[in-house]
Amino acid sequence: MSENPTNPSWTEHPSLEGIDAGKLALLNSLAQQGKGKSPQELLPFLMSAASQNKSRGMKFSPKEMDAILQVLKIGKSPEEIQRMEQLIQMMKLLH
């Protein structure tokens, strides 16, 4: 199984078993749309997506978010993980 978030099989990771399939499909779609974006482009993109999904009633619990983030970190370099965590902190501050 590939751990690449742009490959749908990452959504089949055992850690994500309890998360609704619709939420995972949404995340996979966002991963596809965000592919190739710079960190400066990614934050506004993710904030916009979060706002749209919140208005549609789609919300991820803290437990779901933690599980998703752990899976997304698999196979990443320490630098990539650090950038992910910085982005997450910025999103928490803005949300």
Cα 24 vs. chain centroid, distance in angstroms?
A: 9
Contacts with 53 (C-beta within 8 Å, 6 or more apart), sequence order: 26, 59
**Contact predicate 76/84, CB 8 Å:** yes
**The pLDDT of residue 62:** 82
Which of 90, 20, 17 shows the shortest CA–CA distance to 59?
20
In 29-43, which positions are buried (b, 16+ CB within 10 angstroms) versus exposed (e)?
ebbeeeeeeeeeebb
Average pLDDT in the 12-26 region?
87
Most confident of 7-11, 24-28, 44-48: 24-28
- Which helix (H) or strand (E) segment holds residue 12: the answer is none
Q: At what angle do helices 78-94 and 62-73 cross, to 10 degrees?
A: 160
**pTM: predicted TM-score of the whole model, two decimal places:** 0.65
